[in-house]
Structure 1
Amino acid sequence: MKLYYSPGACSLASHILLNEINVDFDLERVDLKTHKTEKGADYYEINPKGYVPALEINPGLILTENVAVLPFIAQHDPKQDLIPPSGLGRAKVLEWLGYLNSELHDAYAVFFGPALTEEERARAYAEIDKILKYIENYLQESEFDYLVNDRFGPADAYLFVITNWSNVIQHDLTPYPNIVALRNKVAERQSVQIAMRDEGLIP
């Protein structure tokens, strides 16, 4: 498999999961401004949508969209720890991935487009905080160690990556101690440390 990625982008979640399942895979960096890969390929010819992640499963067979790519990678875990194979447990993983993708990801994404006015920034921060408050309250009341159950999985990787963007947009996560605790736990995983070093995010 080959993962097309951009450092620190949402493709980092796929990178983390690929490390988790301990399979051989290739990485190819994408410049999202020029839409050229590090090998000089036109990224639009690989993924006409133009964004990451794109997972090349076999030559010419490309899978895109986090809600598809992350479960696909997770189901290849030989220990079958990352995602339940069926039933309500698997549905809960997909529920969280859908929410994170459609709500939290989009709320952060406005900061990476055209420059915002002060009023627009305030509204955008408020939208992020509304979603994070929901997740914080859920974690506060949950009996599980992670979002879905007591095992690390795709939703935890995705939440970690998205909330990592708070560092970029100067957004304070300290009002959300349960989210911070989950982030810290995820950050300690070897798969995360390797992915972040490979992408040049940490020394």
Structure 2
Amino acid sequence: MKLYYAPGACSLASHIILNEINVDFDLERVDLKTHTTEKGQDYYTINPKGYVPALEINPGLILTENVAVLPFLAQHDPKQDLIPPSGLGRAKVLEWLGYLNSELHDAYAVFFAQPMDDETKQRAYVEIDRLLQYVEDYLAEVDTDYLVDDNFGPADAYLFVLTNWSKGIGHDLSKFKEINDLRDVVSQRQSVQIAMRDEGLID
């Protein structure tokens, strides 16, 4: 398999899960400004949507969208218990991926679309806080180590990646204790450390 990624982008979640499973894979960096891969290929010929992640499963067979790529990878190695094979547990993982992808991801993404004045930024911060508060309240109520049960999975990786963006946009994440506690646990996983080093995000 090959993951097309951009450093620190949402494709980092797929990179983390790839490190968790027992599979060989390659990485190819994408410049999202020029839509060119590090090997000089027009990225639109790989993913006509133009964004990451794109997972090449076999030559010419491409899977895109976090809500599809992350569960696909997580189920690759059942011994890892990254995602339940069926039933309510699997549905809960998909529920979280849907929320993170359609709500929280979009709330952060407005900061990367175009320059924003201070008033617009403040409104966008409020929206991010509103969406994060839902996660915070949920984590405070449940007696689990991660978002779904006690097993690390794709939703935890995705939440970690999205909230990483807070620092870059000047958003205060410190008020969310439960989220930060989860982030601390996730950040210590070897899969996360390796992915972040490979993408040049940490030394």
Q: Which residue of 2 aligns with 1:41?
A: 41
Cα displacement string for residues 150-181 of structure 1 (whole angstroms, at most 9, x for unaligned residues) = 00000000000000001101111111000000
The separation in 1 between residues aligned to 2:22 and 2:3, in whole angstroms, is 14
Q: Which residue of 2 aligns with 1:180?
A: 180
Among the aligned pairs, what percent are the same residue? 79
Could you tell me which amino acid in structure 2 is paired with residue 28 of structure 1?
A: E
Query: The residue matched to 1:79 in structure 2 has which SS?
Result: helix
Cα displacement string for residues 40-73 of structure 1 (whole angstroms, at most 9, x for unaligned residues) = 0000000000000000000000000000000000
Q: Which residue of 1 aligns with 2:32?
A: 32
The separation in 2 between residues aligned to 1:180 and 1:153, in whole angstroms, is 17
1:130 maps to 2:130: yes
Q: Which residue of 1 aligns with 2:110?
A: 110
Query: The residue matched to 1:30 in structure 2 has which SS?
Result: strand
Could you tell me which amino acid in structure 1 is paired with residue 8 of structure 2?
A: G
Q: Which residue of 1 aligns with 2:197?
A: 197
Equivalent runs, 1:62-77 vs 2, <5 Å: 62-77=62-77
- Runs of 4+ residues over 2 Å off in structure 1: none
* TM-score normalised by length of structure 2: 0.99
Cα displacement string for residues 86-108 of structure 1 (whole angstroms, at most 9, x for unaligned residues) = 00000000000000000000000
Q: Which residue of 1 aligns with 2:156?
A: 156
Structure 1, unaligned runs of 5 or more: none
Number of equivalenced pairs: 203
The separation in 1 between residues aligned to 2:16 and 2:107, in whole angstroms, is 22
- After TM superposition, the structure 1 stretch with the greater mean CA deviation from structure 2, 169-178 or 89-98, is 169-178
Structure 2, unaligned runs of 5 or more: none
Query: The residue matched to 2:156 in structure 1 has which SS?
Result: helix
Question: Is contact 2:56–2:63 with CA below 8 Å preserved after alignment?
Answer: yes
Question: Is contact 2:97–2:155 with CA below 8 Å preserved after alignment?
Answer: yes
Query: The residue matched to 2:79 in structure 1 has which SS?
Result: coil
Q: CA deviation at 1:78?
A: 4.0
1:146 maps to 2:151: no
Could you tell me which amino acid in structure 1 is paired with residue 151 of structure 2?
A: R
Question: Is contact 2:20–2:80 with CA below 8 Å preserved after alignment?
Answer: no
Q: Which residue of 1 aligns with 2:7?
A: 7
Could you tell me which amino acid in structure 2 is paired with residue 83 of structure 1?
A: I
